[in-house]
Amino acid sequence: MTIIEREQQILRVSQQGVHNSLDTALATQLRTEVVSTVKAVLEDALQEEVTAFLQGIEGQKPHRSGFYHRALATQYGQIPDLSVPKLRERNAERNWEILERYQRSLGSLLDWMCCLYVMGLSLRDLQEALYAVLGRVLSVNAVNQITLHVQRQQDARQTALLSQTPEIILVDGVWVEIQYVIPDEYKEDQSGHLRQCRKSEERVVLAVMAIWADGRSELLHYEVAGGESEATWNQLFKNLIARGFDVNALKVVSSDGSLGIPQAINNHFPQAQQQRCITHKVRGIERHLNYADLPTVNEQGQPWKPIEAKQQRRFEIIKDAYGIYEALSLTEASTLLKTFELKWQMLEPDAVRTFIKDSALTLTFYQFDESLHKHIRTTNHLERLFREFRTKSDEIGVFPNETSCLTVFWLVVQRDHAKHDRFTTANNSGH
């Protein structure tokens, strides 16, 4: 679809609005007045920025050299000819706070676009939203720059040195599909151009989340890996340590039942203990239920359908399993675990055997203050973040490359941290 066709399509949609529209001439006048005012304010601010820069220079100061003009997209409309002051020399040394040196969109507009994108708008949806603001249709490639704009920030965030190390971390992964180039394979597109062949492969974004002493959580590190093996977790922990993570400060790592994690923890954090996520542990029961000796009547003596009896069995055993972790002490929890085993061993031996295996690792959280129990005993903080990310990744389908995947993941993280006021925890990496 061409830009002209897309503009006609957007106009048809906008004409179906339920509210009265302003007269076209009046709407144009209002937009012109607003954009003119914004332009004047920005130009004054840019002048002040240059003045401040010159005042901070000791000795010989560079001379002003007039202006150059730049088109700038803002949330108030398109400014076609913003006058940006320049110097005869040392422009590269200037601290460009209001606009970056080659920036073509105002930061607040980009933030708004990023927010809408992460909330679920597709790139074509953003085309439509931006038309109402800018009065013109941007190409999909131009709209796609919203993710490229934050790529530099994401790259810096991923490698920045850590200023603090938490005593508790949660680790887990979320699976995605990413395209990769096939070496030495090409195909001809509709225009007759040779394009390198690509194929989509499953990858996992491994993530590390800190739990601080006050109960707040913060994502520390994330990277794309080929799977959740011991080797990939080893590499992730190695990269985390390279950023300044103190191996001696860590006390516990909360994770699911991934087989590669325990040895990787021992390799890099020998003093830390593992906490197995109780949610993953309890959910594992369902896969091993055999529903032996189901009752045929309920407590009121009424006949029970098999499906109803199965639902009741599943409800009761899961309720009992979760009840273990509501105990106020390790001693009480251990007693409830024994009671659980005795009650269900004959009816559901496979489920009990699976649940009891490594069950001690699900009780590690009792060694910490009670206020932290709910944060340590599950990886739910990460799982909620992953659900937000899956909503976006499902809409995208296949990421064109790893950078695109990590950039969208970072956008989701930033929005989630802002929603839950996590930035005040420990501005660990200067983000």
Q: 355-392, pLDDT tens digit by residue?
A: 999 999 999 999 999 999 999 999 999 999 999 899 88
Measure the CA angle with vertex 35, ends 30 and 39; round to 5°: 150
Instruction: Tell me how crowded residue 266 is: count the other CB atoms within 10 A of its CB.
Output: 12
Asked if residue 358 is part of any domain, the answer here is yes
At what angle are helices 306-324 and 278-286 packed, to 10 degrees?
160
pLDDT of residue 11: 66
**Range with lowest mean pLDDT among 186-195, 208-217, 265-274:** 186-195
* Residue 121 pLDDT grade (very low, low, confident, very high; cuts 50, 70, 90): low
Burial profile 1-31: b = 16 or more Cβ within 10 angstroms, e = fewer = eeeeebeebbeeeeeeeeeeeeeeeeeeeeb
H or E segment at 257? Answer: none
Q: Which is it for strands 168-188 and 252-255: parallel, antiparallel or unpaired?
A: parallel
Contacts of 55 (CB under 8 A, 6+ apart): none
Highest-pLDDT range among 12-21, 157-166, 271-280 = 271-280
Euclidean distance between CA atoms 240 and 286, whole angstroms: 35
**Range with lowest mean pLDDT among 86-95, 338-347, 364-373:** 86-95
Which comes out higher in pLDDT, residue 169 or 94?
A: 169
Euclidean distance between CA atoms 431 and 429, whole angstroms: 6
Contacts of 326 (CB under 8 A, 6+ apart): none
Residue 15 has pLDDT above 50, yes or no: yes
Averaged over 34-47, what is the pLDDT? Answer: 78
Averaged over 348-352, what is the pLDDT? Answer: 96
Same domain, 201 and 119: no
- Report the number of distinct structural domains present in the chain: 2
State both tokens at 93. 């040394």
Asked if residue 385 is part of any domain, the answer here is yes
Same domain, 260 and 304: yes
3-class SS of residue 309: helix
Asked if residue 235 is part of any domain, the answer here is yes
Averaged over 343-356, what is the pLDDT? Answer: 95
Same domain, 167 and 29: no
Same domain, 105 and 229: no
Q: In this structure, are residues 262 and 234 in contact, taking their beta carbons and an 8 Å threshold?
A: no
Q: In this structure, are residues 175 and 204 in contact, taking their beta carbons and an 8 Å threshold?
A: yes
Chosen domain end from 114, 149, 184: 149
State both tokens at 170. 């949660």
pLDDT of residue 426: 42
Same domain, 224 and 335: yes
Asked if residue 70 is part of any domain, the answer here is yes
Same domain, 82 and 188: no
Residue 357 has φ and ψ, to the nearest 5°, of -60, 125
**Range with lowest mean pLDDT among 35-39, 106-110, 407-411:** 106-110
Over the chain, what is the mean pLDDT? 83
Same domain, 198 and 136: no
Q: In this structure, are residues 274 and 364 in contact, taking their beta carbons and an 8 Å threshold?
A: yes
* Residue 424 pLDDT grade (very low, low, confident, very high; cuts 50, 70, 90): very low
pLDDT of residue 141: 63
Averaged over 313-342, what is the pLDDT? Answer: 96
pLDDT of residue 427: 44
Asked if residue 156 is part of any domain, the answer here is no
Same domain, 383 and 287: yes
State both tokens at 3. 């830009």
Same domain, 142 and 195: no
Which comes out higher in pLDDT, residue 410 or 365?
A: 365
Which domain, by its residues, includes 132? 3-16+23-56+64-91+101-149
Averaged over 31-50, what is the pLDDT? Answer: 78
Same domain, 118 and 189: no
Residue 42 has pLDDT above 60, yes or no: yes
Asked if residue 211 is part of any domain, the answer here is yes
pLDDT of residue 250: 96
State both tokens at 257. 């039942």
Burial degree of 84 (CB within 10 A; 0-12, 13-18, 19+): buried
pLDDT of residue 289: 94
Asked if residue 362 is part of any domain, the answer here is yes
H or E segment at 188? Answer: strand 168-188
Q: In this structure, are residues 32 and 76 in contact, taking their beta carbons and an 8 Å threshold?
A: no
Residue 222 has φ and ψ, to the nearest 5°, of -160, 150
Q: What is the DSSP string of 66-93?
A: EEEEEEEEETTEEEEEEEEEEESS-GGG
Same domain, 219 and 117: no
Asked if residue 428 is part of any domain, the answer here is no
Which comes out higher in pLDDT, residue 62 or 21?
A: 62
Same domain, 254 and 395: yes
pLDDT of residue 45: 79
pLDDT of residue 429: 46
